[in-house]
Structure 1
Amino acid sequence: MARLTEDAKGVYVIAVTPFTDDGALDLGSIDSMVDFYEGAGVTGLTVLGQLGEAPKLTAEESRTVVERVLKRLDGRLPVVVGVSAPGLAPMRELAEAVMGEGAAGVMVAPPWTVKTDDQAFAFYQSVGEALGETPFVLQDYPLTTNVTIAPKVIERIFNEVQNCVMLKHEDWPGLSKITALRAASDSGAMRRISILCGNGGLFLPEEMGRGADGAMTGFCYPEMMVGVVAAYAAGNPDRAHEIFDAYLPLARYEQQQGIGLASRKYVLAKRGVIKSATLRKPGAKLSALDIADVERLLARQAIRLKEIGA
């Protein structure tokens, strides 16, 4: 598999981690999930992300998930693997293992101990050195990490850390950050890098309009992200917004803390993508009223999609 580069674009869907009802890894559902994402038209997959419940997996389970995904894809799509860790040694160890299995690159979020601009730069400089030739994604997700990285610092990182090839943009609000980074690359102040956006695709049309290259996030209907990105690539932002608007109520519901991932897994199980909607403990569980909310949203979404021919 070719390695991740600054030219990456499209939809790298954040994959869930399927579990059985008793919380064990469900390897069969990993296979069906991979088939589903590939059939939905995604460009690549990202595994062991925050919403992939990576912190709940053992080191051995993490490698098992990656190996299973890579084996099922057999090189047809690139795979990015989250390797964030408190220290550089376990990060490097996991990165070397997954790259040896055929991953295209890895993703690294900053630890909460990063507080200043100089610390942010020094951390990613150290990551670049530790990972050697492995290309990596800078995950900028202040809402979770509590680490804010200013555009000027990101410019410096990308100019001086050559194996950092992509920004996973999840700042919120963050449209001005995309604008600033694209202005910097257009002026020659920094090299142009890939920007893929997160936050469940909640701002994807606007992010594409600001110069993003696509999405790296999860949603129970990856077809939405694929459709939006394709419409922008075809020069049709109005169609992109029309597609996005049809899915927005459900995407909004998924953004709730706690039950958001539970609702995503509920819909994926309902669609036959995975066998069980179980989150590994500790994890939220939908109430009967929550399920009724989701079912109502699904019914209304189906009506709207038929109306717009999507």
Structure 2
Amino acid sequence: MKITSSKPPYGVYTPLVTFFHEDESIDFAAVESHVRRMAKAGVAGLVLQGSNGEAPHLDHEERQEMITRTRLTLDSLGYEQIKLIVGCGAPSVRETLRYVAEAKAAGADFALVLPPAYWAPAMTAAVVESFFSAVAEASELPFLIYNFPTVASGIDISSDAIVRLGKEHPGTIVGCKLTCGNLGKLQRIWSSLPEDSFAAFAGKSDFMLPGLVGGSNGVIAALANVVPKVHVQLLNLWSEGKLEEGRKLQTKLSNADGALQKVGVAGVKAVVSYFFGYGSGKARRPLGTTSVQTLSEEILGPIAEVVELGKVAV
């Protein structure tokens, strides 16, 4: 299927967490409160059903309802311009394409696709590259390649492969999210593909500013669930050429992100609930539940510092 699409707009993207009730059903009221806070903070888009959204724990119907409700919430608040990138990765081409079709029908703008990782020993570089080509040939949405070895059996997609795929499928493969943290890879991809049609994203707050220097199209970062305004502020400082101020703010984000990475997905939700009054630290088993009361000051302190910054960020 031939798609001609522009890349996702430049900006901050929040990989949205999914809140659950105690019985593990989705807490849509909390999700909608979260979407509202993200939109008001000035994000360019939301990433649904990524690793932070517990994608493997959601069934097809839940995924569709999450997309539909998120789109309706944004539109009802006048934020029609905010884009939705939806995780659609699966072990097979067939299942991935089903997720893509369902995401499109529910209101997604872009898909985000992990490499297949179940049969890890069989997933050679050539097999992984052929997987993305096969998805691109039939996808109903433009999509980003998601490189996150931690959740993909250690599979790390090379810059050469991403560049080849971007050149072979322009308008369909329109970007990548690099949670791997390889800034050299980001730089190589940015310099090898047209910046106006391919978006390479740094995938963590920890290296947001270095990523921007290397050509990142903004950032997709878990910490944006907590302090979206601070990420927007750093983006603005970079755009205005205020590098020294940006470095100081990046240090605070790196410290907070380092702390947040220690608490897992449930911990991200617990932190959001503690500081902003909605949702809880409940995840679907086997991830369990986290409470802020169990977190040390070493973890909570750096996060609290950027939360205070977010109250005054413009």
Query: Which band: TM-score by shorter chain?
Result: 0.7 to 0.9
Aligned equivalents of 2:156 and 2:304: distance in 1? 39
Q: Is the 8 A contact 1:16 1:53 kept in 2?
A: yes
Secondary structure (helix, strand or coil) at the match of 2:295 reads helix
Aligned equivalents of 1:45 and 1:264: distance in 2? 16
Aligned equivalents of 1:233 and 1:159: distance in 2? 28
Tell me which residue corresponds to 2:144: 137
Q: Which residue identity is paired with 1:176?
A: G
Match of 2:163 among 126, 146, 155: 155
Structure 1 window deviating more from structure 2 (230-239 vs 38-47): it is 230-239
Could you tell me how far 1:9 is from its partner in structure 2?
1.3
Is the alpha carbon distance of 1:261 and 1:7 closer, same or farther for their aligned partners in structure 2, counting shifts above 3 Å? closer
Aligned equivalents of 1:226 and 1:102: distance in 2? 25
Tell me which residue corresponds to 1:106: 111
Is the alpha carbon distance of 1:216 and 1:273 closer, same or farther for their aligned partners in structure 2, counting shifts above 3 Å? farther
1:203 aligns with 2:242: no
1:35 aligns with 2:36: yes
Could you tell me how far 1:273 is from its partner in structure 2?
5.6
Q: What root-mean-square deviation, in Å, do the aligned CA atoms of Structure 1 and Structure 2 show?
A: 2.5
1:264 aligns with 2:268: yes
Secondary structure (helix, strand or coil) at the match of 2:176 reads strand
Q: Which digits, 9 at most, give the CA deviation of each residue in 1:249-281, with x for residues without a partner? A: 22111112xx22233111211233632221121
Could you tell me how far 1:228 is from its partner in structure 2?
1.7
Secondary structure (helix, strand or coil) at the match of 2:6 reads coil
Q: Which digits, 9 at most, give the CA deviation of each residue in 1:9-36, with x for residues without a partner? A: 1111100001113321111111111101
Aligned equivalents of 1:204 and 1:182: distance in 2? 15
Tell me which residue corresponds to 2:86: 81
Is the alpha carbon distance of 1:309 and 1:131 closer, same or farther for their aligned partners in structure 2, counting shifts above 3 Å? closer
1:240 aligns with 2:246: yes
Q: Is the 8 A contact 1:43 1:78 kept in 2?
A: yes
1:250 aligns with 2:256: yes
Paired-residue identity, %? 23
Q: How many residues align structurally?
A: 298
Unaligned runs of 5+ in 1: none
Tell me which residue corresponds to 1:183: 191
Tell me which residue corresponds to 1:171: 180
Aligned equivalents of 1:309 and 1:52: distance in 2? 26
Q: Is the 8 A contact 1:11 1:226 kept in 2?
A: yes
Tell me which residue corresponds to 1:15: 16
TM-score (norm 1): 0.87
TM-score (norm 2): 0.86
Is the alpha carbon distance of 1:194 and 1:223 closer, same or farther for their aligned partners in structure 2, counting shifts above 3 Å? same
Q: Is the 8 A contact 2:202 2:208 kept in 1?
A: yes
Q: Is the 8 A contact 1:139 1:168 kept in 2?
A: yes
Aligned equivalents of 1:12 and 1:309: distance in 2? 17
Is the alpha carbon distance of 1:127 and 1:302 closer, same or farther for their aligned partners in structure 2, counting shifts above 3 Å? closer
Q: Is the 8 A contact 1:32 1:273 kept in 2?
A: no
1:227 aligns with 2:233: yes
Q: Is the 8 A contact 1:63 1:98 kept in 2?
A: yes
Could you tell me how far 1:115 is from its partner in structure 2?
3.5
Unaligned runs of 5+ in 2: none
